[in-house]
């Protein structure tokens, strides 16, 4: 009877944790993440040395910190990937609660580091951006609520999750951080879509987002300045976008050569928001295509693996985590090539950062945990059984 319900993949009695993890984890996704981290260190060697020189620090100060935070992110990812779905759910909900409290405290104890947006807590030796840790927890919480709504007499999980989303977006807009607000709304939309949202409702939500954008443009000088700069037909060559655009054009197909790029000397955020411009200039289109392929491999592979899942929570949470990971990467690269207005988002596992890279490790670690092979039948077999 057990085999009929859960499929024929046997559990090995007494198998060590590491052995079971290695046998069931998706090694393609794992390899792609490690490759992205390696590329991030390689680009960091080029992009962060000029910044360290300007700040009077050791030339490899930022590279060493990137290696430290990158290593911590990979360890965090591996630990999360070993957890069962039930533990991922608990971890996500508790993590969301902690990050939400921190987000609410930002107007009181946060700092903007002179960038005009209060997004960080500064501890002197390091800073923390709560919104980065909020996203994976929010996706897990939303997936749990929506999955629970499928149960007989279950809670109105879709409505509760939408109200939570509005509260979060409100806090993020106060910073202001409209980029993360849109990412949170997108993540909720993905989970709701996978859960079977009516198409008309999705159109309504998109319309509300558009109205919210118009309101923000009319009432936020910070937001309006970025939109105006994006819509302007002329690019000021002295702006970050201007330097990045020129660097990408100069790189061509094969790049100008390792260490020969100039954009890293002009851009203050070359090691974070515009790291792809450094890659394009020094290594050319080939490196950009490699980076795009690695992100595509992680996301597409994970979504295909989730197709076999019968557990609604696993399907919803996994799809949401994969999509926000992909969209964050798309936004970062889209800004650099002027397809999107400036957002201030890092490139996961490639850009320099503490909060962002560790949060990316948590996100992909949860995704790896949810896409591991477990004793169950194929989703198609399950649907056929229900149709009888």
Residue 348 and residue 328 in contact, taking contact as beta carbons nearer than 8 Å = yes
pLDDT at 2: 36
Question: Does residue 288 register a pLDDT over 80?
Answer: yes
Burial class (CB in 10 A: 0-12, 13-18, 19+), 261: buried
Q: Which helix (H) or strand (E) holds 357?
A: helix 355-370
Taking only the tens place, the pLDDT of each residue in 312-358 is 999 999 999 999 999 999 998 988 887 887 777 889 999 988 889 99
CA distance 287 to 36: 11
pLDDT at 3: 38
Alpha helices (H) along 7-154: 17-24, 27-47, 49-54, 61-81, 85-109, 130-148
Domain parsing of the chain, residue ranges? 2-7+15-114+129-387
Q: Which residue has the higher pLDDT, 179 or 23?
A: 23
Question: Which residues have C-beta within 8 Å of that of residue 298, sequence separation ≥ 6?
Answer: 29, 32, 33, 322, 325, 326, 364, 367
Half-sphere exposure of 213 (CA within 13 A, CB side): 12
pLDDT at 248: 83
Q: Where residue 271 falls among pLDDT bands split at 50, 70, 90?
A: confident
Taking only the tens place, the pLDDT of each residue in 39-62 is 999 998 888 888 888 888 888 888
71-85, 243-257, 272-286 — which is least confidently predicted? Answer: 243-257
Residue 382 and residue 39 in contact, taking contact as beta carbons nearer than 8 Å = no
pLDDT at 388: 43
pLDDT at 387: 42
Taking only the tens place, the pLDDT of each residue in 115-162 is 667 888 887 777 888 989 999 999 999 999 999 988 888 888 888 998
Residue 144 and residue 314 in contact, taking contact as beta carbons nearer than 8 Å = no
CA distance 226 to 196: 35
- CA dihedral (312, 313, 316, 320) in degrees, to 10, reads -170
């Amino acid at each position: 009877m057990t085999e009929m319900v859960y499929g024929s993949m046997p559990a090995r009695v007494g198998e060590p944790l590491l052995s079971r993890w290695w046998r069931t984890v998706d090694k393609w996704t794992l390899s792609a993440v490690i490759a992205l981290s390696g590329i991030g260190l390689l680009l960091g060697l080029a992009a962060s040395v000029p910044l360290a020189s300007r700040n009077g620090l050791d030339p490899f100060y930022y590279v060493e910190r990137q290696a430290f935070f990158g290593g911590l992110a990979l360890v965090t990812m591996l630990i999360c990937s070993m957890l069962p779905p039930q533990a991922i759910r608990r971890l996500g909900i508790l993590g969301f609660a902690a990050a939400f409290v921190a987000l609410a405290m930002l107007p009181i104890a946060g700092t903007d580091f002179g960038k005009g947006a209060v997004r960080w807590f500064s501890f002197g030796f390091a800073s923390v951006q709560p919104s980065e840790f909020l996203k994976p927890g929010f996706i897990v919480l939303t997936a749990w609520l929506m999955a629970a709504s499928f149960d007989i007499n279950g809670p109105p999980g879709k409505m509760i999750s939408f109200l939570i989303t509005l509260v979060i977006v409100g806090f993020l807009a106060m910073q202001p951080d409209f980029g993360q607000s849109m990412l949170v709304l997108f993540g909720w939309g993905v989970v709701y879509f996978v859960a079977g949202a009516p198409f008309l409702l999705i159109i309504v939500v998109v319309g509300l987002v558009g109205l919210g954008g118009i309101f923000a443009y009319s009432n936020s000088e910070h937001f309006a300045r970025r939109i105006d700069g994006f819509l302007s037909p002329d690019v000021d060559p002295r702006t970050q976008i201007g330097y990045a655009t020129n660097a990408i054009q100069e790189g061509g197909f094969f790049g100008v050569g390792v260490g020969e790029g100039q954009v890293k000397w002009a851009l203050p955020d070359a090691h974070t928001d515009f790291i792809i411009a450094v890659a394009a200039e020094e290594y050319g289109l080939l490196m950009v295509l490699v980076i795009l392929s690695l992100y595509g491999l992680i996301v597409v592979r994970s979504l295909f693996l989730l197709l076999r899942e019968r557990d609604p929570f696993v399907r919803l949470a996994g799809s949401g985590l994969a999509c926000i990971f992909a969209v964050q990467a798309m936004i970062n690269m889209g800004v650099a090539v002027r397809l999107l207005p400036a957002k201030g988002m890092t490139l996961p596992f490639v850009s320099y950062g503490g909060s962002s890279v560790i949060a990316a490790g948590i996100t992909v670690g949860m995704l790896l945990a949810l896409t591991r092979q477990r004793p169950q039948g194929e989703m198609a077999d399950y649907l056929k059984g229900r149709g009888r």
